[in-house]
Chain A
Amino acid sequence: MECAIQLKHVTKTFGSVVANKDVSLDIYKGEILSLLGENGSGKTTLLNMIAGIYYPDSGEVLMGGQPIEIRSPKDAYAHGIGMIHQHFKLVDVFTATENIALGLDKREKFDLKAVKKKAQAICEKYHFDMDFDQKVYSMSVSQKQTLEIIKVLYRGADILILDEPTAVLTPQETDKLFEVIRNMKKDGKSVIIITHKLHEVLAISDRVCILRKGEYVGEVQTKDADEKVLTEMMVGRKVTLNINRPEPKNPIKRLEVRHLNVKSPDGVAVLKDVSFDAYSGEILGIAGVSGNGQRELLESIAGLQAVEAGGSILYFNEGKETTPMEVVGKNPRIIRNAGIHMSFVPEDRLGMGLVGSMGMIGNMMLKSYDSGKSFLADRTKPKDLAEQIKKELQVVTPDINTPVSRLSGGNVQKVLVGREIAAAPVVLMTAYAVRGLDINTSYTIYDLLNQQKEKGVAVIYVGEDLDVLLALCDKIMVLCSGQVNGIVDARTTTKEEIGLLMTKLKKEETANE
């Protein structure tokens, strides 16, 4: 096969961190290539060098056998390379058309109508659905992604790079995206997908290239690969892929949520009549496309969110099973001290729960600064706790005083989850605990959650990856448009069923049962 673009001995460093070391990679015409690797293995950095975001420290990029210089994204476009970044590069207050027109060749006449017409033609060719006068801020994630793809195709890209394209999509939207990718392949374009989701690699790609710690490990033809082979190449050693799922022991009701309604500040109902129970020794999974009320639900239970009148959240503390506490209306600190703990990992990881500019000790102190009788805050216990978390969860940090914002995403999450678990909760709520984490770290977190479950903690796990939800949880509650769209047994349900529940609201009778 003919090469579309080649990387030869490319190295890139950021300060003392080597992101890519002597990587060589060939990309053929008309193929779908998966670039697989753990977090921080340098996948995005590597392709950012083709896309003109970074420039390699050494090594070269070849096209048609000739070395080319890609100094900026503009150069990349000129060579027919377009990248769809994980964080969309779109201007919120612009329309779709304006976003496409942004940065077009200056020699072309500036005519938004012509741009729109040409973009519509692309839409018809690849069967996209897009309203070109819609402003980006009112679009769904999937629409934004479609717009990004159109933008790249508009510029005549022959090599498309997609960075974790399915991270925010529902299974149905993912299927649609894969359809589009196959259409582009048929059209002779090369598509590179950066991902760490193995089943997607197997479903879509022709060939897989694997990076580990910035170095090129090797390539496999997808038809010869399976999840086990890929994982071993990715991690560099054998790992057990099965998530442990002990049977719940002696479940006791810990939380009873009834008729919970929450309105957003704009008056839009975010949670509608949510009712469910959570039991000790059980992991209750919550599935749903992000932004369907997960955050509000957890925040209501943690006392951070105002709840509409009529809803109730009863909390059955250990030893107080007969005299439940009403959580609604209570101060978050009281709720926390009673044993309900939440760790919410937002998209930027640091947004809630941790202060980026403080070290591990400082972040531990956030939860303990007001305990003890002394006028001065106690620094000894938080320090011990930080040391303990660092050791037990293998947090990679030069020092427990290093600001947590300098740690990698996975380590930040370990600190956050570790702190909440260390407080010996009765109810532990985690949201997106493994967001963006690689397989190894994810499994550490699953193990932690399972340990808590076996200790008799009622765990609520809001997750994104359906495979994990199915393997880890005992029950799965699906939220759709703020409603409980079904609670299913994780041991018997299927991915398709959950996917459907996530996107299609069932009739009223199920919601009101």
Chain B
Amino acid sequence: MDSSLIAWIIRAIPFGTIIMYGAMGEIMTEKAGNLNLGVPGIMYLGGFAGFASAFFYENSVADPNKFLCILISLTCCILASMLGGLIFSFLTITLRANQNVTGLALTTFGMGVANFFGVFILNGKSYSAAPLANSAYSAKIPGLSTSFGVVSETLFSYGFLVYVAIVIAVILHLFLNRTRVGLNLRAVGENPATADAAGINVTRYKYLATCVGAGLSGIGGLYYVLDYNRGIWATTGQIEALGWLAVALVIFTTWRPLNAIWGAYLFGTLYWLYQFLPSLLGFTVASYVTDLIQMVPYVVTIIVLIVTSLRKKKENQPPAHLGLAYFREER
């Protein structure tokens, strides 16, 4: 029983990490008032750009270096994701297009781009791999990951991006709540007219928050391909499902980065519920039930939505100006 519980946690934490990146990026974006539903597309862009750059680096250099591999793939991933964010920003902030429509289009766009260019890498095969990048990203911490038995196994047996995610969540929390820029950013999302009157450059804040947020979300895609999925690129719709889960997680956290840490792991646990709970309890379930159980994270999100809207606490509500374009001279 113990071992399957540990196996459950070991599956849940990496899974949670993927959506934690997606959600943190989206929290940043939404705090500035932009509802970017293009998260799945951005995670595709980030994941694919990271994989493709690592793949080419590995296959074109005689003696590839792991550290360089990480640097190249991470840079490409963040740049590609930020490009996605930039498209969204330009359309919604500068041209004031509808954010929902633009976001959904960006999701389709990101998937399309990734799968289109993926064809050239796959070259007729059903999947292709970047083993060096995978070993670099999934490298465990020497020492810590073995010396404490079960503790090491459950807490320290993951690639570095798992820990980086936690650090980023804490930094994001401090940034939003303790710094001047964070205060300004939140004001932009709550009431851009007020922020504008206070001399804050609303357009710049929205652009930056959306692009940086997209970059952060994209790392989720990268982590999925190069670590979680063992460095294998295949044309499946998996990333899209993860992207939507990340969007759901943002609501679940009530827009608080610190909640994203445990929320993401909880989502991971719930996602793998179908595989581990029956064996923990000693019974088997039919495969159609599996799909139903995988729905649990979404159900939990809906419950959280209901509870927070019933409690009507202003602090738990989405940023007041979320999803609305701002135009100073509108009368």
Contact = CB atoms under 8 A, between A and B. Distances in A.
A234 B260 CA distance: 59
A92 B191 CA distance: 8
A14 interface: yes
Interface stretch (A103-111, A274-282, A308-316): A103-111
Interface residues of B, number: 24
A106 B180 contact: yes
A53 B180 contact: no
B180 A92 contact: no
A54 B184 CA distance: 22
B194 A91 contact: yes
B320 interface: yes
Size bin of chain A's contact surface: 20 to 34
A182 B312 CA distance: 40
A228 to B, nearest CB: 32
A174 interface: no
Nearest to A104: B180
B331 A14 contact: yes
Interface string B41-60: 00000000000000000000
Interface centre among A73, A74, A91 (most CB of B within 10 A): A91
A53 B191 contact: no
Contact of B197 (A14, A53, A93, A104): A53
Given A14-B329, A93-B315, A103 B184 contact: yes
B186 interface: yes
B200 A103 contact: yes
A14 B197 CA distance: 20
B253 to A, nearest CB: 16
Nearest to A103: B198
Interface string A489-500: 000000000000
B329 A73 contact: no
B328 interface: yes
Interface string B313-328: 0110100100000001
Contact of B184 (A14, A83, A102): A102
Interface string B162-201: 0000000000000000011001101100110111111110
A183 to B, nearest CB: 24
Contact of A54 (B186, B194, B317, B329): B329
A77 interface: yes
Contacts of B191: 89-92
Interface centre among A51, A72, A266 (most CB of B within 10 A): A72
A258 interface: no
Given A14-B329, A94-B187, A135-B314, A103 B199 contact: yes
Contacts of B196: 73
A94 B320 CA distance: 12
Contacts of A110: 179-180, 183
B204 to A, nearest CB: 12
Interface in A38-96: 51, 53-54, 72-74, 77, 83, 85, 89-94
8 contacts: A72-B199, A77-B199, A89-B197, A90-B191, A92-B314, A94-B183, A102-B194, A137-B314
